Chain A
């Protein structure tokens, strides 16, 4: 009996201790975000500034993001979903308007002019409600970029093919003189989108007559399945793809631009600088852009704090610090300007042990112009549109044919 009492005592004291650690009496901001997509220092600074704690939950796909918000299991105050999820959430009435007219928020007041023009053009075409009116007071772009190919520069063939053929390079192995290893994103919808982009088509269409219907036509489904079986991708993954291209175990992969800058910085950081980077990125001329936007879901219990958070993240110095830490393409004009200023001032993108292992900001911006303007090379840029449950299931059924179990 004594033993049991002792056990209970230990258990209860452990519980009390854990609760003290886990729960803090302060205000709480629930943030739903992608993994490694915000500078933790900024979260800390925000917490100190407003005497609150930020609890961040992370996901790995747009669908999970959507699911988490619609499920309402957690009262998220701010979420950072991708473009088509924002449209979907807006259409379903799950978003609250951001407090852009409140004089407390000087940055939010200027929401119409602070974002880069090429992004604004895109959102004005795609992010509209049923009466073609933009609903830009419901989201604030956070980072953006374009779908692109990260490729290894170690095989001479690969670079030429990727630069000349765009996304077709992923689906046509006969373009190469040697065997290449190709990685594809493991999100079913992206697989279908990449297939359409590889054929120079709009990734939103559902049949070969360029219609956009509820579900994919069976002809397109079958062709896509055949293409997948034919090309027989070497890996399906998400965060692992970029690492594997950098490592050399993949020759190229389909991914988002931000992934490239993420792994580029990682490469410099892990070896205290890098002398030769043997991978590069290409944004094909027919591509799709994407952006993630900060939104306030209707689940919020702390609307003011949520607005303060968005305002905080859009303040140029914070946004600049965040872009530096995360490496995705910034959405604010002011941040782009700050990059140019710092480049002129001779700042480094990465300052390594020696000059040869370092990269100056000027060189970085020259080498990778897509950082400040993801669509600099693109003639056609689409945004993915929200799709029906049927469409997504069909994508899933296309994707599962890849299971290479009997090979």
Chain B
């Protein structure tokens, strides 16, 4: 009886592993192709995926192809700043929303849903329309400013989505106690409430960054003045002969680095846990 059961369990486990691996594999195929292309001498040949020999020149191109590295820097600039600002903005907005009365809360929730429920393309177009109305006043507004505002705009709701539920779970007693003991409210907020939200804030920031660095559609409508981003570089030139294979190399590098950090982190936390035991 026992053996039969464990046999079934093994089968079930195999199925589980196979299913997850298959899903993993399907999402990983493009990443594998990116790796392959990043070492391929003829990554941009007429014949798709033809192997022209192993090379590192694509990696060198990240630093030599001006159009490519400018687009990478543009992407990073927008994403890093918008992540920081969106996180700070989102945390304070969450605290504000949390404090609202029920009625006001409802309006706020509805408004906060707009950026999330609106499709990317409509969001991008909305912001483009809004800023094109401002153009007579600020002729050079398109570029970093518009893209940055747009990115903050579409990532803040995700930060709130992460932080607000956590805030609702937090016990107010500690905060109230601190205030009663004479600690100024703002200081109590920073010393007690915000540290308790740490994981949620980090999660929110991570999602914001991931969405922002990968964004194509919204950036498509808010670029200008020579300021674009990496996705738009790829979209505008992937079928051209001067498309830099460095794009593949950059992405492969990014994935390698993330993988490394992830593994290092999980090793580190595992050791910590064992140490605690």
A100 within 8 A of B: no
Which residues of B in the span 31-83 have a Cβ within 8 Å of any Cβ on A? Answer: 42, 45-48, 67, 69-70, 73-74, 76-77, 80-81
Taking the closest CB of chain A, its distance from the CB of B44, in whole angstroms, is: 9
- Check if B135 sits within 8 Å of A18, measured CB to CB: no
Knowing A58-B236, A243-B239, say if A270 contacts B139 (CB, 8 Å). no
Which residues of A in the span 10-28 have a Cβ within 8 Å of any Cβ on B? Answer: 11, 14-15, 18, 21-22
How many residues belonging to A are interface residues under a CB distance threshold of 8 Å? Answer: 35
A369 within 8 A of B: no
- Check if A14 sits within 8 Å of B225, measured CB to CB: no
Interface centre among B73, B132, B224, B239 (most CB of A within 10 A): B239
B237 within 8 A of A: yes
A267 to B132, CA, bound (A): 43
B142 within 8 A of A: yes
Chain B residue at minimal CB-CB distance from A265: B241
Residues of chain B contacted by A262 (CB below 8 angstroms): 241
- Check if B46 sits within 8 Å of A247, measured CB to CB: yes
Taking the closest CB of chain A, its distance from the CB of B140, in whole angstroms, is: 7
Which residues of A in the span 208-246 have a Cβ within 8 Å of any Cβ on B? Answer: 237-240, 243, 246
Which of A14, A30, A75, A270 contacts B45 (CB under 8 A)? A270
A401 within 8 A of B: no
- Check if B77 sits within 8 Å of A15, measured CB to CB: yes
Residues of chain B contacted by A243 (CB below 8 angstroms): 46, 239
Knowing A11-B80, A35-B236, say if A74 contacts B42 (CB, 8 Å). no
A60 to B235, CA, bound (A): 10
- Check if B46 sits within 8 Å of A270, measured CB to CB: yes
Residues of chain A contacted by B80 (CB below 8 angstroms): 11, 14
Knowing A15-B81, A22-B73, A247-B47, say if A73 contacts B224 (CB, 8 Å). yes
- Check if A266 sits within 8 Å of B76, measured CB to CB: no
- Check if A30 sits within 8 Å of B226, measured CB to CB: yes
- Check if A74 sits within 8 Å of B46, measured CB to CB: no
B98 within 8 A of A: no
- Check if A18 sits within 8 Å of B76, measured CB to CB: yes
Taking the closest CB of chain A, its distance from the CB of B79, in whole angstroms, is: 11
A126 to B271, CA, bound (A): 77
A347 within 8 A of B: no
B107 within 8 A of A: no
Interface of chain B: mostly helix, strand, loop or mixed: loop
Which residues of B in the span 199-231 have a Cβ within 8 Å of any Cβ on A? Answer: 224-226, 228
A57 within 8 A of B: yes
Interface of chain A: mostly helix, strand, loop or mixed: helix
- Check if B240 sits within 8 Å of A55, measured CB to CB: no
Which of B46, B84, B141, B240 contacts A35 (CB under 8 A)? B240
Residues of chain A contacted by B142 (CB below 8 angstroms): 71, 73-74
Taking the closest CB of chain A, its distance from the CB of B136, in whole angstroms, is: 9
- Check if A35 sits within 8 Å of B225, measured CB to CB: no
B242 within 8 A of A: yes
Chain B residue at minimal CB-CB distance from A10: B80
How many residues belonging to B are interface residues under a CB distance threshold of 8 Å? Answer: 32
Which of B46, B140, B228 contacts A263 (CB under 8 A)? B46
A36 to B69, CA, bound (A): 18
A72 within 8 A of B: yes
Chain B residue at minimal CB-CB distance from A240: B239
Which of A15, A57, A74, A239 contacts B239 (CB under 8 A)? A239
Interface string of A58-78 (1 = CB under 8 A from B): 111000000000011111000
- Check if B225 sits within 8 Å of A73, measured CB to CB: yes
Chain B residue at minimal CB-CB distance from A15: B77
Which of A21, A73, A238, A266 contacts B69 (CB under 8 A)? A21
Chain B residue at minimal CB-CB distance from A8: B84
Residues of chain B contacted by A36 (CB below 8 angstroms): 240-242
- Check if A35 sits within 8 Å of B242, measured CB to CB: yes
- Check if A72 sits within 8 Å of B135, measured CB to CB: yes
Chain A residue at minimal CB-CB distance from B225: A74
Knowing A35-B242, A58-B237, say if A270 contacts B42 (CB, 8 Å). yes
A189 to B162, CA, bound (A): 47
Chain A residue at minimal CB-CB distance from B47: A247
Residues of chain B contacted by A35 (CB below 8 angstroms): 236-237, 240, 242
Taking the closest CB of chain B, its distance from the CB of A18, in whole angstroms, is: 4
Interface string of B242-268 (1 = CB under 8 A from A): 100000000000000000000000000
Taking the closest CB of chain A, its distance from the CB of B129, in whole angstroms, is: 11
Which of A14, A56, A73 contacts B135 (CB under 8 A)? A73
- Check if B70 sits within 8 Å of A21, measured CB to CB: yes
A91 to B141, CA, bound (A): 27
A21 to B70, CA, bound (A): 8
Residues of chain A contacted by B139 (CB below 8 angstroms): 72, 75
Taking the closest CB of chain B, its distance from the CB of A3, in whole angstroms, is: 11
- Check if B81 sits within 8 Å of A11, measured CB to CB: yes
A72 to B84, CA, bound (A): 30
A237 to B239, CA, bound (A): 10
- Check if A55 sits within 8 Å of B226, measured CB to CB: yes
A35 to B235, CA, bound (A): 12
A21 to B237, CA, bound (A): 22
A246 to B46, CA, bound (A): 8
Interface centre among B42, B143, B225, B241 (most CB of A within 10 A): B241
Taking the closest CB of chain B, its distance from the CB of A78, in whole angstroms, is: 14
Residues of chain B contacted by A59 (CB below 8 angstroms): 236
- Check if B226 sits within 8 Å of A57, measured CB to CB: yes
Chain A residue at minimal CB-CB distance from B65: A40
Tell me the A residues contacting B by CB distance below 8 Å.
7-8, 11, 14-15, 18, 21-22, 30, 35-36, 40, 55-60, 71-75, 237-240, 243, 246-247, 262-263, 266-267, 270
8 pairs of residues in contact across A and B, judged by CB atoms under 8 Å: A15-B77, A15-B81, A18-B77, A30-B226, A60-B236, A73-B132, A73-B135, A243-B46
The 4 closest A-B pairs by CB, nearest first: A73-B224, A73-B142, A239-B239, A55-B226
